């Protein structure tokens, strides 16, 4: 079978993970070129990483290389345009989070997918971890009973220097604070495990960093299955952790980690008397494991390309989390609970996560 050709767009901090991911699939994927608007930086990266060709223009990259897959690792505000142009050029897309700036942009990507028959997957590598898929399968089997309560924390630390990078900390380019940029990973995993959310009430503020977007957000969530959830995203937490917790009728399921995990970071606590129950026994039967990586996800996308099927984190599988974040921000700015599917074209929060506002009314003033 002929190898597929991929190209990398953006050669900054996360680019190494993309190179490593492509090379982890080298029997069926070849990383032939990279592109960066900062051509000098791009060239230095390519030389260091052994990538043969480097471009400073995206159109030229697509035209000359005719890639099967485009890996997008540029800053968030460019994702949608780059993704749509890649699809139009006949490629599939593996695009960094956040996939796009708004529900409107998500619909642009959906329309481009329809026109081209290609798919655009959001990088959400946590969801592809074998241990996550295992926990989801056991929860979905119903053997652990109903989900009652869920907790999702992204308590990370990003200092003032981190926000000195020009694209960070603004609605226009980072598209949001730790809710959109960091908590998206844990919330995406959380929402997939908890089931369909139906209502969210949230508050957010800029408590310490000198940025336009929030540095902390909190949300209360109601789920279709009756469960309640609590979500915190913050960039202000010196002892960092990502924490997920689901309390089901038969057991508490917890995941505690930072940036990546294996089955060893999950903890199962059976409810009294449920130690030998079917669900708890199934949970403790872990499958072959591998740590979280971009490589696992890109491998799955290559399987999808070969099978001609939609990747897990594209289309509806990407919408769930972006729509949740849009609702969370709308609740922050309006002070009202926001219900599922209520943000439609014509709503300012359909076009932008901040609904065109910048000031977080309930935030401490940043001086």
- The distance of closest approach from Cβ of residue 337 to ligand NAD in the complex, given in angstroms and rounded to an integer, is 28
- The distance of closest approach from Cβ of residue 197 to ligand NAD in the complex, given in angstroms and rounded to an integer, is 22
Instruction: Give the interface segment with ligand NAD, choosing from 75-83, 154-162, 266-274, 280-288 (CB under 6 A).
Output: 75-83
Instruction: Give the interface segment with ligand NAD, choosing from 68-76, 266-274, 331-339, 349-357 (CB under 6 A).
Output: 68-76
Q: At what angle do helices 15-23 and 294-307 cross, to 10 degrees?
A: 50
Strands 236-248 and 251-257: antiparallel
Nearer to ligand NAD, 251 or 296 (CB): 296
Nearer to ligand NAD, 97 or 352 (CB): 97
Nearer to ligand NAD, 125 or 331 (CB): 125
d(CA 185, CA 244): 11
Nearer to ligand NAD, 207 or 258 (CB): 258
Please tell me whether the peptide bond between 98 and the residue prior to it is cis, using omega within 30 degrees of 0.
yes
Please pick, from the candidates 75, 130, 291, 348, the single residue that binds ligand NAD as defined by CB under 6 A: 75
Please pick, from the candidates 123, 219, 235, 246, the single residue that binds ligand NAD as defined by CB under 6 A: 123
Nearer to ligand NAD, 96 or 247 (CB): 96
Strand order in the sheet with 29-35: 53-55, 29-35, 4-9, 69-72, 92-95, 120-122
CB 199 within 8 A of CB 221: yes
Instruction: Give the interface segment with ligand NAD, choosing from 74-82, 143-151, 187-195, 322-330 (CB under 6 A).
Output: 74-82
Q: Which of residues 78-117 bind ligand NAD (CB under 6 A)?
A: 78, 96-97
Nearer to ligand NAD, 179 or 277 (CB): 179
Taken as a whole, the chain contains a residue count of 367
- The distance of closest approach from Cβ of residue 16 to ligand NAD in the complex, given in angstroms and rounded to an integer, is 9
CB 222 within 8 A of CB 157: no
CB 6 within 8 A of CB 32: yes
Q: Which of residues 15-54 bind ligand NAD (CB under 6 A)?
A: 35-38, 41
The SS3 of residue 122 is strand
Residues in binding contact with ligand NAD, number by CB under 6 A: 23
Please pick, from the candidates 22, 33, 70, 73, the single residue that binds ligand NAD as defined by CB under 6 A: 73
Q: Torsion angle, CA of 159/161/164/169, rounded to 10 degrees?
A: -10
Nearer to ligand NAD, 19 or 251 (CB): 19
Instruction: Give the interface segment with ligand NAD, choosing from 67-75, 213-221, 314-322, 355-363 (CB under 6 A).
Output: 67-75
**Residue 70 belongs to what H/E stretch?**
strand 69-72
Nearer to ligand NAD, 35 or 204 (CB): 35
Contact status: 11 vs ligand NAD (CB under 6 A)? yes
CB 68 within 8 A of CB 43: no
Nearer to ligand NAD, 4 or 182 (CB): 182
Q: Which of residues 160-219 bind ligand NAD (CB under 6 A)?
A: 165, 181
DSSP 8-state secondary structure symbol assigned to residue 357: -
In sequence order, the 6+-apart residues with CB closer than 8 A to the CB of 265 are: 131, 255, 256, 257
d(CA 236, CA 363): 14
Give the count of alpha carbons within 13 A of 327, CB side only: 23
d(CA 76, CA 82): 10
Binding stretches for ligand NAD (CB under 6 A):
9-14, 35-38, 41, 58, 73-76, 78, 96-97, 123, 125, 165, 181
């Amino acid at each position: 079978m002929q190898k597929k050709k991929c190209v990398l767009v953006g050669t900054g901090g996360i680019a190494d993970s993309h190179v490593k991911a492509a090379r982890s699939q080298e029997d069926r994927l070849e990383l032939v070129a990279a592109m960066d608007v900062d051509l000098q930086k791009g060239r230095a990266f390519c030389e260091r990483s052994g990538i043969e060709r480097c471009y400073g223009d995206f159109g030229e990259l697509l035209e000359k290389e005719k890639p099967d897959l485009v890996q997008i690792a540029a800053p968030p505000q460019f994702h949608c345009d780059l993704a749509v142009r890649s699809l139009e050029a006949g490629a599939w897309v593996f695009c960094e989070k956040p996939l796009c700036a708004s529900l409107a942009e998500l619909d642009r990507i959906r329309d481009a997918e329809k026109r081209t028959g290609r798919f655009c997957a959001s990088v959400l590598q946590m969801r592809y971890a074998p241990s996550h898929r295992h926990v989801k399968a056991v929860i979905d089997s119903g053997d652990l009973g109903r989900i009652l309560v869920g907790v999702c924390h992204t308590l990370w630390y990003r200092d003032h220097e981190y926000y000195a990078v020009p694209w960070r900390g603004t609605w226009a380019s980072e598209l949001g604070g730790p809710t959109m940029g960091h908590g998206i990973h844990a919330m995406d995993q959380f929402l997939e495990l908890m089931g369909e959310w139906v209502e969210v009430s949230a508050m957010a503020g800029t408590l310490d960093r000198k940025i336009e977007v929030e540095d902390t957000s909190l949300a209360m969530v109601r789920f279709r299955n009756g469960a309640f959830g609590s979500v915190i995203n913050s960039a202000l937490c010196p002892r960092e952790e990502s924490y997920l917790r689901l309390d089901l009728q038969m057991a508490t399921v917890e995941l505690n980690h930072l940036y990546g995990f294996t089955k060893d970071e999950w903890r199962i606590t059976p409810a009294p008397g449920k130690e030998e129950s079917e669900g708890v026994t199934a949970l403790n039967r872990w499958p072959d494991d591998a740590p979280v990586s971009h490589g696992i996800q890109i491998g799955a996308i290559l399987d999808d390309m070969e099978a001609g099927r939609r990747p897990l984190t594209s289309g509806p599988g990407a919408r769930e989390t972006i729509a949740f974040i849009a609702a969370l921000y709308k609740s922050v700015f309006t002070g009202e609970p926001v219900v599922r599917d209520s943000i439609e074209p014509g709503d300012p929060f359909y076009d932008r996560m901040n609904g065109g506002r910048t000031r977080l009314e309930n935030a401490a003033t940043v001086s």
